[in-house]
Amino acid sequence: MSKRLQFLVFALAALTGALATGQEVALSFTAAQAETGRTVFSETCVVCHGPNLNDGPLGAPLKGDAFMRKYGGQSVQALFDVTRTTMPTANPGSLPIDTYAALVAFILQQNDIVAGETPLPADPRALAAMQVPAGGFSFMAYSPYTERLSIDRPTPLNDFTAVADTAIESPPSGDWLGWRRSYDAHGFSPLKDIDTRNVEDLRLAWSWTLPAGSAEGVPLVRDGTLFVQSYGDVVQALDAKTGDLLWQYNHALEPGASPFHKRGLALHGELLYLGTSDVHVVALDVATGKPAWDTRVGDFRMREGLNGGPLIARGKVMVGTTGTGVGAKPGGPQIVGLDAATGEVAWRLGTIARPGEPGGESWNGIPFDERSGASVWTPGSYDPETGLAYFGTGNTYDTGPLLEPNNSPGVTNDALYTNSTLAIDPETGELVWHFQHFPNDQWDLDWAFERQILDQTIDGVARRVVLTAGKIGIYEAIDAQTGEFLYALDLGLNNIVTEIDTRTGEKRVDRSRYPDGSVQLICPHGAGAKNFLPAAYIESRRVVVVPLNEACMDMFPVPGGGTGGLSSGVNWGIRPRPDSDGNYGRLQAINLDTLETVWTTRQRAPQTSGVLATAGELVFAASFDRYFRAYDARNGRMRWETRLNDVSSSSPISYAVDGKQYVAIVVGEGGFHPRSFAPLVPELRSPANRGATVWVFALPD
């Protein structure tokens, strides 16, 4: 046997053994592999990063001291994942997996790390076992032939308690177990150590940098462990008390898929569930971060996405998909139910009605395969009392074929099930009832956001209520058991709806506001008075606190709608309301018993986060000026503020560890919503280098 072959056999055996035992593996790549990476770099990366890797006009340095300070001492997997999820900028993650390994090999070579005999692998386990030398030279890495000292530190995962349905229904006070903490989506924490008397003493406890990119996800906390999903389908488990990393999972996207932000994770049993950018649902072992199962539920190649996140009840993982525009999957999005233990698909429910089925003739005669929209953009809610799950749907961008009714007998242009609440049996996927809030939406004013479940006495009758609002700024209450319309509350921020039938909820729409080839003033803007950023419900006060923005749009004719427009031939530009005083962001507290406003606080910066309410009589929310603020829940008076490093497009949470209360928020500008409002406040400039981060605050000891 030649010496070279002997070396390769030894290296392979060492790698296999090290992976099996969790030991570190010596870093190696080949000169040929690095040369392949050089070619890829010159074709896809040089325009941003420059020919020398550190002299480009747009990209961060990939060579030199700054680069090594960032990646030296880290696993090669960290560098590999950043490369895969950010390059090429026009379509991150679109290159073959081995090409990314070659690109990383080239970057390492350019930082004076010496090539070896074994190619750099693309296997995440192998990359995680390799370390980038802290000094940039291979002889400065820890020797792979010497056993490293092991430090046994306590981890909160040792105390993790399996999560049952009853825990999600009524979580322990220190936990945050769902997108809005619990099944009912109230967004309320019973913790009260931080209150109106001491909130001004709130200080930074710890922070953690997330992968760069849009970050709309809301963390979960169970028994002292914080779980967070970030851009690039990266999930991390952190010590919720200290911010120490416990484990990290990186989902390798299918070729051609691009990273996209997510809004929710789910916990059940001893598994953590997530949706991915290539439309998979993955269940991770909470102790290790390793996949228990991975199921593909949709087709990203047909413009199907998974944005909202999972809901788990009665043994089923339920997720809704998105799908809009030309090339979208025929028949539109779907809500999928999977077995929580195995990942096996139990049922599928399309969100677009089929011809011959209830609602099937509501699409103005459009063939089923040409219908699109009714996307599910946020996680659903569940009511143990009714046994039903509730999901909201959005509009369709293909509005042109719905604009004018075709007047055929029995045919309407309502377009079910767009802008609807869907009540679903989790075990069977049966659609038990639906309520359409806003038929034939011609303005991109979705009704696709949180469904809050609460008890309310209406006209002397105790009701179980599903409460929700659409972009248009109208709240509606629906009977959770039957889908019966109960009441509506118009917040006065639209100029489209002129009347609401108090018996049925049917809306009379000003048809002069429909696209007609002229420039029209439409309120609100397509980013919404309300959007996916959820409200908080304070049950003791019967008050819902809503994040809103005051803006309108000039809707103007563009053939075909143009980029991002509607197929009715219009696009839009943001503008202030005609009565604007220059303040756009608004928090509004509404008493649901009286339907009267308790307080309103306004500021120039648009609201960009959801709302957290706590038993300490506090309301927390963040805005486009990067301020994170606490308000008195009784009167709206601001009691505390701090400035963050970037815009938050997430929702704050509160949790406790060892009896100490914390407040956390994720930042990392989340795409369409905050960017839509940026032209209104040109003086509020976002950082040139975006920074996704988890910020955690607490009172001093």
Question: Each residue of 38-83: pLDDT tens digit?
Answer: 999 888 888 888 888 888 777 788 888 778 877 887 788 888 888 8
The reported pLDDT for the residue numbered 652 is 98
Average pLDDT on 448-455 reads: 98
The residue type found at 430 is E
What one-character-per-residue DSSP string does 631-665 give? EETTT--EEEEEE-SS---S--EEEEETTEEEEEE
DSSP three-state, residue 452: strand
The reported pLDDT for the residue numbered 69 is 75
Give the C-alpha separation, 267 to 634, whole Å.
33
**Residues facing residue 388 across a β-bridge:** 383
Q: List Cβ neighbours of 633 (8 Å cut-off, separation of 6 or more).
A: 538, 541, 543, 545, 589, 613, 614, 617, 618, 619
CB 464 within 8 A of CB 385: yes
CB 302 within 8 A of CB 332: no
The neighbour count for residue 407, using CB atoms within 10 Å, is 10
Average pLDDT on 548-570 reads: 86
From residue 417, how far is each of 39, 225, 331, 598 by CA, in Å? Answer: 49, 38, 12, 34
Out of 14-23, 410-419, 573-582, least confident range: 14-23
Domains, in order of start, for the chain: 3-140 (1.10.760)
Tens of pLDDT, residues 316-329: 999 999 997 666 77
The reported pLDDT for the residue numbered 561 is 66
What one-character-per-residue DSSP string does 498-539 give? EEE-TTT--EEE-GGGS--SS-EEESS-TT-SS-SS--EEEG
The reported pLDDT for the residue numbered 320 is 98
Q: List Cβ neighbours of 23 (8 Å cut-off, separation of 6 or more).
A: 17, 129, 144, 147, 148
From residue 463, how far is each of 256, 386, 467, 479, 560 by CA, in Å? Answer: 48, 12, 12, 7, 46
Share of the chain above pLDDT 90, in %: 73
pLDDT class for 145, splitting at 50, 70, 90?
Answer: low
Task: Name which residue leads in pLDDT, 199 or 560.
Answer: 199
Give the C-alpha separation, 273 to 335, whole Å.
16
Tens of pLDDT, residues 220-258: 999 999 999 999 899 999 999 999 999 999 888 888 888
The reported pLDDT for the residue numbered 539 is 97
Sign of CA dihedral 287, 288, 293, 296: positive
The mean predicted confidence, pLDDT, of the chain is 91
What one-character-per-residue DSSP string does 36-86 give? HHHHHHHHHTHHHH-TTSS--SSSPPSSSHHHHHHHTTSBHHHHHHHHHHH
- H-helix or E-strand spanning residue 97: helix 97-110
The residue type found at 453 is I
165 by Cβ neighbours in 10 Å (0-12 / 13-18 / 19+) ranks as middle
The reported pLDDT for the residue numbered 211 is 87
Sign of CA dihedral 633, 635, 639, 641: positive
DSSP three-state, residue 468: strand
- Is residue 3's pLDDT more than 50? no
The reported pLDDT for the residue numbered 258 is 85
The reported pLDDT for the residue numbered 185 is 98
The pTM of this model reads 0.85
The residue type found at 247 is W
Q: List Cβ neighbours of 264 (8 Å cut-off, separation of 6 or more).
A: 178, 179, 217, 218, 308, 309, 310, 378, 379
